[in-house]
Amino acid sequence: MTMRTNLKMRRMERGMKQADLADLVNVRRETIGRLEQGQYCPSLRLAMDIAKIFDTTVEDLFSFDDEE
């Protein structure tokens, strides 16, 4: 499965840097970068915290494509 996300687009629409978002959800900036590149699957807690920041749902930010 491949994770897809529109996190970077949402962050940039708000004029936020990766470090700004990282500070808001108490993770390292590198974690946000890996999330945006689909290299890291967030915990449910982290996904919910990020969704809350952007006033949206987890499903709107993150999805999976089945590769079979």
What is the pTM for the complete model shown? Answer: 0.89
Distance CA 17, CA 50 (A): 14
pLDDT by residue (tens digit) across 9-63? Answer: 999 999 999 999 999 999 999 999 999 998 999 999 999 999 999 999 999 999 9
Question: What pLDDT is attached to residue 64?
Answer: 86
Residue-level pLDDT at 67: 56
Contact present, 64 and 3 (Cβ < 8 Å): yes
Question: Considering just the CA atoms, what is the radius of gyration of the chain in Å?
Answer: 11
